[in-house]
Chain A
Amino acid sequence: MRVRFWGTRGSIPVALTSADIRDKVALALLRADGRRFASVGEAHEFAQQHLDFALSHTFGGHSACVELETGRDEYFVCDMGSGARPFGAHVLARQSGRPATVNVFMSHVHWDHIMGFPFFGPAYVAGTRIRIHGCHDVLEHAFRLQQAPPCFPVEFAQLAADIEFVKLAPGRMHEVSGLQVTPQPQMHSGDSYGYRFEAQGKSVVYTTDSEHKLENRTQTERFVRFFHGADLVVFDAMYSLADAISVKADWGHSSNIIGVELCQMAHVRHLALFHHEPSYDDAAIEGVLKETRRFEELTRGTRALRVSAAYDGLEIDV
């Protein structure tokens, strides 16, 4: 399985400013320290090898949208945040005019998780099949509502694709076009659901917009079982632990510390920090990543947990 991140930002999309770009270029020039590059390739090589990721790249600003590529002809994607727009362009380019079948799995219907759908190109192509899976009763209502006047010029009913809403039962394994899918209820305003995906002996857990109450051992054990042995866990690490259990308690999000602890308890192989705080710049997210890797090192038992910070465009093979 290949996991491709189209949107990784929490709550609202963000964009680099002109000042951000200016500062990155200025710092990169300083780091180059007078080097001369004979080609763009050489300059790329320098940027890749010698500059911090936060300087030479960006974590991106699209809200949640994560694709799972299983090798099948159909598409599988978690959430329709603003990352659904470039994901849709990818689908259209890849299909070259052939109608696509897209299976969507919705964590919940808060705005940042549905806002990309009106800009999802395949929804406007006749013959496209879109099956939107989720556990919320309000799933279809939310998708229709955001395209109702006066919010958007194209009503949901005008979309050319064949769109179907599929209700899933939490805690039960479902077979969706060869992919085994198990939703799990999570603590978030209006409820959210994580998904465990299994295919070809590999497993990926997508768990965003989920708060973990430390005093609730039953909940902790439930999530350890849900994560158990996963090859990859995509985890909502929006806040610091101190914020998550004090000023931002009950805001429905979690921290890098809890992500590491749960993944260690569940013998997960790879943790991807996700749903980045919108006020964090690239350097701040890279700082959180470095600290999280250090925390994993300090608390490591017999096996190491790989830690990454998801960014728009990242691909992880499991």
Chain B
Amino acid sequence: MPLDHHLYDNTLVLAPSGRLDHDNCEAFREELAPHLERSAKDGTPIVLDLSGLEYVSSAGLRCFMLAAKQAKAQNSRIVIASMQPVVAEIFQIARFNLVFEAYPRVRDALAALSPGAAAAFDKG
């Protein structure tokens, strides 16, 4: 699974796309791991931009749960933004809306995490 990433000031935006299920969840975890390590080292907050994610299965949700647990253990933050309606419904049904802070747009998530990151996003 491609995992686009972009740094806005001190905040990292990661954007998985396509489907996240049993077949590719381990690959996704491997892609995510170095970003979580970096977050642990320097406290970089992470925004998961899910605008390109079309579907997530229980296996994919588990990857998100592991990331949330790791972020909590290392006192860093990971939030979610721009979920497509289907993914947002699945999050709700699985009660993952109680696990993650979720924002309608990436800009909203950045503003909640860091004014500097939101300003960098606005500059483009």
Contact = CB atoms under 8 A, between A and B. Distances in A.
Contacts, number: 50
A246 B69 contact: yes
B62 A245 contact: yes
9 A-B pairs closest in CB distance: A240-B95, A241-B94, A242-B95, A291-B93, A214-B62, A295-B93, A242-B96, A257-B58, A214-B59
Contacts of B55: 299
Interface of B: 22, 55, 57-59, 61-62, 65, 69, 86, 89-90, 92-96, 98-99
Nearest to B66: A245
Interface in A197-235: 214-215, 217, 220
Given A214-B58, A240-B94, A245-B62, 16 more contacts: A214-B62, A215-B62, A217-B22, A241-B58, A241-B95, A242-B65, A246-B65, A255-B94, A257-B58, A257-B61, A261-B57, A294-B89, A294-B93, A295-B89, A295-B90, A298-B89
A292 B93 contact: yes
A258 to B, nearest CB: 6
B99 A242 contact: yes
Interface in A245-261: 245-246, 255-258, 261
Nearest to B100: A242
Interface string A290-309: 01101100110000000000
6 contacts: A214-B58, A242-B94, A243-B95, A246-B69, A257-B58, A298-B90
Contact of B58 (A261, A291, A294): A261
Interface of A: 214-215, 217, 220, 240-243, 245-246, 255-258, 261, 291-292, 294-295, 298-299
A255 B94 CA distance: 9
Contacts of A257: 58, 61, 93-94
Contacts of A258: 58
Contacts of A292: 93
A195 B61 CA distance: 29
A246 B61 CA distance: 11
A278 B65 CA distance: 25
Given A257-B93, A295-B93, A298-B86, A246 B58 contact: no
A217 to B, nearest CB: 7
Contacts of A217: 22
A255 B65 CA distance: 15
A25 to B, nearest CB: 31
Nearest to A240: B95
Contacts of B22: 217, 220
A57 to B, nearest CB: 23
B93 to A, nearest CB: 4
